[in-house]
Structure formats: C-alpha cells, structure tokens
C-alpha cells in the first residue's frame, strides 16, 4: 500500500472520525459507478414491456438512485454533506443475459470526492428494481457494484 492508501478515518487513538478537508483545494470531482441485477426471463419481459404492476421500473429506479446519491451522508457515517452539481442514473438492458446494468454518474465542485455517492446511487437503483419486481420473482441477484472511474482531487484520476 502506498502512502495515499493510509486509513484516514481514524484518529491517533483509533476512534472513527470524519476527515478534515478544510485545507484541501476545491476541484471539480466526478465519479461513475455501476452494478448489475440478474433477473428471470419473466421479470425482464415485464420490465421491457412496461407491465410491472408497480409502474415504470427503470423510471422509478432512476429517481430512487438520484435521491439516494443526494442522501449518502445520511447513510454512510463518515461521508461529508456535498452539494451535487450533477447526478444521473442510466440503465442498459441485456435480454439475452437477463441482466440490467445501472450506471450512476455524480459530479461536484468541492473538497472531497463523490465515489460514495455514485456507489450509493447504483445500489439503491438496483434495490428499487428488486423491490418493484419481487412479486414476479424473488430470486433476482444484485452484484458487481463497483467504481468505474473518478476524477479530481489529490489522488487524481482512476479508471477501472
């Protein structure tokens, strides 16, 4: 592990802390995260046809992901409250694999990054798909949630 990989969410006594970003420069920061949900053929068909009884699955999941990204600091204890300047959630459907991939892009201009916001947005978008489709089939699997890329800040750019 390099020096930039040190754990910074603990003080000298080992107590969990929020990192002090007061002295960090304000930069434009962007993060993109993605994840997948594996569904049954019946769920995929209902999502694509728009026949899920709870409504527009991907539309509701998009809004849920955006709302979640905006609430990340309320869910993850050491996250800073951030003013997000962009948040989008997009989906790719793969009927041949019975999977739906979610991508969440988050941007801010500030002193700390938005990786957790992007990861939270993707996670909640996928959970919303599960919630809306569980009456059809409860065997859906959520996985492969990861950071695709990030830019800005002291640690620079990252591309998976």
Q: Is 90 a catalytic residue?
A: no
Beta bridge partners of 78: none
Query: One of 11, 20, 90, 131 is an active-site residue; which one?
Result: 131
Cα 88 from Cα 24, distance rounded (Å): 26
Q: CA dihedral in degrees (104, 107, 110, 112; nearest 10)? A: 20
DSSP code per residue over 108-136: EEESS--HHHHHHHHHHHHHHHHHHHTTT
Spell out the residues 6+ positions from residue 62 whose beta carbon is closer than 8 angstroms to its own. 89, 90, 91, 125
Question: From the CA atom positions of the chain, what is the Rg in Å?
Answer: 18
Structure tokens at 109: 């201009």
Considering only CA atoms, which of 33, 65, 49, 76 is closest in space to residue 133?
49
CB 102 within 8 A of CB 136: no
- List, by residue number, the catalytic residues: 131
């Amino acid at each position: 592990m390099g020096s930039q990989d040190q754990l910074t969410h603990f003080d000298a006594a080992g107590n969990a802390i929020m990192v002090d970003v007061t002295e960090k420069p304000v930069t434009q920061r962007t993060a993109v995260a993605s994840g997948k949900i594996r569904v049954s053929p019946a769920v995929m068909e209902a999502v694509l046809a728009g026949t899920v009884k709870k409504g527009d699955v991907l539309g509701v999941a998009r809004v849920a992901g955006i709302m979640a990204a905006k609430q990340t600091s309320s869910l993850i204890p050491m996250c800073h409250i951030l003013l997000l300047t962009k948040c989008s959630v997009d989906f790719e459907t793969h009927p041949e694999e019975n999977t739906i991939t979610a991508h969440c892009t988050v941007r801010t201009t500030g002193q700390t990054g938005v990786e957790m916001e992007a990861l939270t947005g993707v996670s909640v978008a996928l959970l919303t798909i599960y919630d809306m489709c569980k009456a059809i089939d409860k065997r859906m699997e959520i996985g492969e949630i990861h950071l695709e890329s990030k830019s800005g800040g002291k640690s620079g750019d990252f591309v998976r």
